[in-house]
Each structure stands twice: as C-alpha cells, then as structure tokens.
Amino acid sequence: QVQLVESGGGLVQAGGSLRLSCAASGNIFSTLKLNVMGWYRQAPGKQRELVAAIISGGSPNYADSVKGRFTISRDNAKNMVYLQMNSLKPEDTAVYYCNYKTVAGDYWGQGTQVTVSS
C-alpha cells in the first residue's frame, strides 16, 4: 500500500553531517489524515530504536541521544521526510530506517547505512 525508499546514507567522519531522505509513494493518505513519519536506527547487536518522529501536524520528537544534533522535517507536498544529522558521533553508526505509521498500517523502508568514523 505504501512504499518507502531511504537515501543519503554513507561514511562520514565524526563531527560531520549527513542528510537522509525518505520518499513515500502509494496510498499515503487516510480519511483523517493522521500519520507519523519517523526515523529509526539499528546497530549491530542492538534493538531498533526510535531516532526522531514527526506527526502530520508537524510536531517533532527526538531520542535523547540525538536531541540538539538531529532535525527531522517533512514535505507533505512531496511526500518526503528528512533527517538532518549534524555533529555525528561514532555511536550514531547504524542502519537507518524510514517509518510511516497510520491508523491503518505501519510501513518501513529497507534502510540506509550510516557509518561514522573516529
């Protein structure tokens, strides 16, 4: 029903920046237009964790570990969500997944690798 494709991952040095993008396609609208788009990440040997999320009304929230460094935004006209990552740390290394939640479904992208070197 909904397809999500992430892009923008790569290898960066600590302190650097990266901008992730997620393109959504398909049936992304519900009757009430209630949805949350977000970014999760999963490092080897660890559980997937929420990084940032933004609801349809525009209110963002962040994991404590990235607060002040990452910024999530969405462009509803383009059906895109972004994650601007600044001051990257080696512990940010993970596969980052785009997520789209509605009352009718929960959708995931395939992920994009982010590697931060010291």
Can you read off the two tokens belonging to residue 11?
A: 């290898």
pLDDT at 69 (0 to 100): 98
The Cα angle at residue 66 between residues 118 and 9, in degrees rounded to 5:
60
What are the backbone dihedrals phi and psi of residue 90, each rounded to the nearest 5 degrees, phi first? -55, -35
Mean pLDDT value of segment 84-104: 95
| Contact by Cβ (8 Å): 72, 59 | no
Mean pLDDT value of segment 54-77: 92
| H/E element, 13 | strand 10-13
Give per-residue pLDDT as tens, 10-60: 999 999 999 999 998 887 665 456 789 999 999 999 999 999 999 887 889
| Contact by Cβ (8 Å): 26, 4 | no
Computed over every residue of the chain, the mean pLDDT equals 92
pLDDT at 32 (0 to 100): 52
**What one-letter code names the amino acid at 105?**
G
